[in-house]
Chains A and B, each alone.
Chain A
Amino acid sequence: MNVFKKAAAVAAALALLAGYGAPTARAQTPDEIKSRGTINIGMLVDFPPFGILDLEGKPDGYDADVAKLLAEDMGVEANLVPVTGPNRIPYLLSNQVDILVASLGITEERAKQVDFSQPYAGIEIFVVGDTGVEVKNADDLAGKSVGVARASTQDTAITGMAPKSTNIQRFDDDATAVQALLSGQVPLIGASNTVIAQIDQAAPGRFDKKFQLRQQSQGIATRPGATEMMAYVNDFLTRKKESGELNALYEKWIGAPLPDFVLKTTK
């Protein structure tokens, strides 16, 4: 092989890398994806129960099931690409994936970089307690005991908003905080909708939600300007919410029904 042939080969390789290295993921419209036959979907694999790896090391979880449902709806193969929290938006913007079903919380800052669908999942945290206890807002917590899991989101939220006279009892995890509520050691605890579903199962009718501390919706994300794709995703989510399939997946993985603010937000 002479020098020129070698140089030509290197040049060709460079050209491939530079220009055509990842052309497959550049599809912007549903038609392009359908004609290609696969959709590249980025998802987290370290965020149980939304994104995990199964025993064979393949992506699994609520996000994986939603992604597969979307691919099935389009009639294409789902190619699930593991991404991480910090690199998921760069993966999308650099065309390495077509869309993200990556538990991406819908925030104003992120909406400047990517387009969000209607919510497909959500997490809410509440103060819950004995039905007999009168609490409507953070100020009503004055002089009362509230159990929380140490350093959880609800700990941070309640510590930030409760009056000084509130007695915040920090337990090692959610399970112990729930145990304290069930045994009557604390009249109130801070907990997420998934934990509240378990409490309702253990003691139906004994406790109710007092007020919401925080809520977070997660959306499917596309590159800005992929309006046809986004329209398809929104239509898909609306149909799957109506049919109950999305709720069934949420029940399967999270063990609670889709929160109302997710179910009722359609656009």
Chain B
Amino acid sequence: MAYQFNFAPVFANFGQLLAGAWITVLLSFGAMLLGTVVAVVCAVGKSAGPAPVRWLINAYIEIIRNTPFLIQIFFIFFALPAIGLRLSPNVAALVALTVNIGAYATEIIRAGIESIHKGQVEAGVALGLKRGQIFRYVIMKPALRTVYPALTSQFIYLMLTSSVVSVISATDLAAAGNNIQSKTFAAFEVYLVITGMYLLLSLAFSALFALVRRAAFDYPMSR
């Protein structure tokens, strides 16, 4: 192989890559938080809501989980303006990622909720806990603890999926890489560097998830 590596154009534009990586972090982190809220609401609705609510949530989950993310983001960016809803590229990307992760996380969290034994809730009632307290401490916390590994690996996958959002001209890490590559033609070097950056981001998110697990869920099981 006689390829001459030339990283100079990549490092000359490194500021653009850092700015793109920051957008990727914001988009991923925002979608994780908002998506978890969406998922908890939908999971409770699906487990305990009236029939029409359950049907709606089921439709949402099936549509999102059985269509490509690329099409979902095109729909939000290019089709919604037709009914008067115009979002800027980065906001559209955040909405698309939230809607997407929301559907996957709903099913994960619902599995956690259904793993809580009925007797545990009855024990909470017997102890005189209020409804909110039962929901928070007796149902949600152990449920989230059970599904935490599945949920966080879905979050990492979400961060990697966010590399697609450059198709609607959002300015994430992949878009910054594409811009530099199309100007300098240093495809090998650019994609090698952003591959490394995505890997670092994944590891950083994993480390953050481990810290959260220790802070929130590191209590002894009582069995």
User: What residues make up the interface of A, taking CB atoms closer than 8 Å to B?
Assistant: 147, 150-151, 169-172, 176, 179-180, 183-185
Please pick, from B78, B178, B182, the residue contacting A180 in the complex, using a CB distance under 8 A: B78
The smallest C-beta distance from A208 to any residue of chain B, in angstroms, reads 20
B79 within 8 A of A: yes
Interface pair A183/B169, CB less than 8 Å apart: no
Cβ proximity bits B74-97 to A, threshold 8 Å, 1 near / 0 not: 000111011000100100000000
Known A-B contacts A180-B169, A184-B86, A185-B86; the reply to A170 vs B179 at CB < 8 A is yes
27 pairs of residues in contact across A and B, judged by CB atoms under 8 Å: A147-B169, A150-B179, A151-B179, A169-B89, A169-B169, A170-B169, A170-B178, A170-B179, A171-B167, A171-B168, A171-B169, A172-B167, A172-B178, A176-B168, A180-B77, A180-B78, A180-B168, A180-B169, A183-B78, A183-B81, A183-B82, A184-B81, A184-B86, A185-B77, A185-B81, A185-B86, A185-B168
Interface residues on B, range: 10 to 19
Q: Roughly how many angstroms separate A151 CA and B190 CA in the complex, as a whole number?
A: 15
The smallest C-beta distance from A22 to any residue of chain B, in angstroms, reads 36
162-183 of chain B: CB within 8 A of chain A:
166-169, 175, 178-179, 182-183
Interface pair A150/B78, CB less than 8 Å apart: no
The chain A residue with its CB closest to the CB of B170 is A169
Interface pair B167/A176, CB less than 8 Å apart: yes
A176: chain B residues within 8 A (beta carbon): 167-168
B78: chain A residues within 8 A (beta carbon): 179-180, 183, 185
A147: chain B residues within 8 A (beta carbon): 169
The smallest C-beta distance from B20 to any residue of chain A, in angstroms, reads 12
Known A172-B167, A185-B78; further 6 A-B contacts with Cβ < 8 A: A171-B167, A171-B168, A171-B169, A180-B169, A183-B81, A185-B77
Q: Roughly how many angstroms separate A167 CA and B82 CA in the complex, as a whole number?
A: 22
Interface pair A183/B79, CB less than 8 Å apart: yes
Q: Roughly how many angstroms separate A38 CA and B175 CA in the complex, as a whole number?
A: 52
The chain A residue with its CB closest to the CB of B166 is A172
The chain B residue with its CB closest to the CB of A182 is B78
Q: Roughly how many angstroms separate A179 CA and B167 CA in the complex, as a whole number?
A: 12
The smallest C-beta distance from A251 to any residue of chain B, in angstroms, reads 29
Q: Roughly how many angstroms separate A185 CA and B178 CA in the complex, as a whole number?
A: 21
The smallest C-beta distance from B19 to any residue of chain A, in angstroms, reads 14
Interface pair B182/A151, CB less than 8 Å apart: yes
B166: chain A residues within 8 A (beta carbon): 172
51-91 of chain B: CB within 8 A of chain A:
77-79, 81-82, 86, 89
A170: chain B residues within 8 A (beta carbon): 169, 175, 178-179
Q: Roughly how many angstroms separate A183 CA and B169 CA in the complex, as a whole number?
A: 14
The chain B residue with its CB closest to the CB of A145 is B88
Query: Closest 6 interchain pairs by CB?
Result: A151-B182, A169-B169, A183-B78, A184-B81, A183-B81, A150-B182
The smallest C-beta distance from B60 to any residue of chain A, in angstroms, reads 24
The smallest C-beta distance from A170 to any residue of chain B, in angstroms, reads 6
Q: Roughly how many angstroms separate A164 CA and B219 CA in the complex, as a whole number?
A: 54
B178: chain A residues within 8 A (beta carbon): 150, 170, 172
B81: chain A residues within 8 A (beta carbon): 183-185
Q: Roughly how many angstroms separate A184 CA and B77 CA in the complex, as a whole number?
A: 10
Q: Roughly how many angstroms separate A151 CA and B166 CA in the complex, as a whole number?
A: 14
The smallest C-beta distance from A177 to any residue of chain B, in angstroms, reads 9
The smallest C-beta distance from B172 to any residue of chain A, in angstroms, reads 12
The smallest C-beta distance from A243 to any residue of chain B, in angstroms, reads 42
B82: chain A residues within 8 A (beta carbon): 183
Q: Roughly how many angstroms separate A176 CA and B77 CA in the complex, as a whole number?
A: 11
Q: Roughly how many angstroms separate A169 CA and B90 CA in the complex, as a whole number?
A: 11
